[in-house]
């Protein structure tokens, strides 16, 4: 299945704590793995849990300056407890942007070759691929409305002229370990998914 995103019927219009606490440490780039209470207000956490979705303890926030693009796509890797085992991948997130409505998320086929794990500034492990070696399969211009996004195949962000803040709500492990098809089915069964 090549569809790597779906718009969701989830209200995120008053999800975030106010005032917004994050400031990038370096120009044009920031990535945070933050406790959910320091991104989302309590009312929204309760609202999401009432939809039957259990947020994990922490969620992600990304910042990119205008046109701050790289040549790489990546996979989202889960915390690695035993490096000798297979690399655990995070299957999905629920993403929306605060600014950067002219940027796009792009997905690619998973290459066959073996890959190496590296670590971000937020100490989250990830795997990189050069975009020029990949085959694009899907693309989404993510806006203020939340989108279910697949993150266990290579994906990248193409940032436009506006700086981009992106929230990526993350969910508990038993949900993270599901296949993409079963995640889509879960959101569909709760009537939260907009078909495309
Ligand atoms: Fe990612």
Q: What is the mean pLDDT of the chain?
A: 91
Measure 185 CA to ligand 1 centroid, in angstroms: 21
Q: What is the mean pLDDT of residues 172-183?
A: 80
pTM of structure: 0.93
pLDDT at 117: 87
Residue 49 lies in a domain: yes
Residue 124 lies in a domain: yes
Q: Would you call 38 helix, strand, or coil by DSSP?
A: helix
Measure 47 CA to ligand 1 centroid, in angstroms: 25
Residue 196 lies in a domain: no
Residue 83 lies in domain: 5-13+25-186
The count of structural domains within the chain is 1
Measure 71 CA to ligand 1 centroid, in angstroms: 14
Angstrom distance (rounded) from CA 121 to CA 90: 18
Residue 148 lies in a domain: yes
Residue 167 lies in a domain: yes
Backbone angles phi and psi of 133, in degrees to 5: -95, 0
Residue 153 lies in a domain: yes
Measure 151 CA to ligand 1 centroid, in angstroms: 6
Residue 194 lies in a domain: no
Query: What confidence category does residue 85 fall into, taking pLDDT thresholds of 50, 70 and 90?
Result: confident
Measure 58 CA to ligand 1 centroid, in angstroms: 15
Non-local (6+) Cβ contacts of 129 within 8 A are: 72, 73, 74, 108, 111, 115, 154
Cβ < 5 A residues, ion ligand 1: 76, 151
Angstrom distance (rounded) from CA 174 to CA 62: 24
Choose among 93, 128, 96: nearest CA to 113.
128
What is the sign, positive or negative, of the torsion defined by CA atoms of 70, 136, 111, 146?
A: positive
Backbone angles phi and psi of 58, in degrees to 5: -130, 150
List alpha helices for the chain, DSSP H.
42-50, 173-176, 180-189
Residue 178 lies in a domain: yes
Give the Å distances, CA to CA, from 171 to 64, 66, 156.
23, 29, 21
Give tens-digit pLDDT for 122-176. 777 889 999 999 999 999 999 889 999 999 999 999 999 999 999 999 998 666 5
């Amino acid at each position: 299945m090549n569809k790597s995103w779906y718009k969701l019927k989830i209200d995120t219009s008053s999800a975030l704590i106010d005032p917004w606490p994050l400031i990038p440490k370096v120009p044009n780039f920031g990535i945070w793995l933050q406790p959910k209470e320091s991104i989302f207000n309590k009312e929204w956490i309760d609202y999401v849990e009432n939809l039957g979705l259990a947020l994990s303890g922490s969620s992600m926030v990304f910042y990119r300056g205008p046109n701050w693009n790289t040549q790489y796509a990546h996979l989202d890797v889960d915390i690695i407890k035993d490096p000798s085992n297979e690399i655990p991948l995070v299957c999905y997130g629920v993403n929306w942007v605060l600014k950067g409505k002219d940027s796009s998320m792009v997905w690619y086929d998973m290459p066959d070759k073996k890959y190496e794990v590296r670590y971000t500034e937020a100490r989250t492990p990830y795997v990189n691929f050069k975009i020029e070696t990949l085959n694009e399969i899907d693309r989404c211009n993510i806006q203020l409305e939340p989108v279910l996004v697949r993150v266990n195949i290579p994906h990248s962000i193409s940032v436009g002229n506006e700086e981009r803040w992106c929230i990526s709500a993350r969910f508990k492990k038993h949900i993270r370990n599901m296949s993409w098809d079963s995640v889509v089915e879960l959101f569909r069964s709760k009537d939260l998914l907009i078909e495309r």
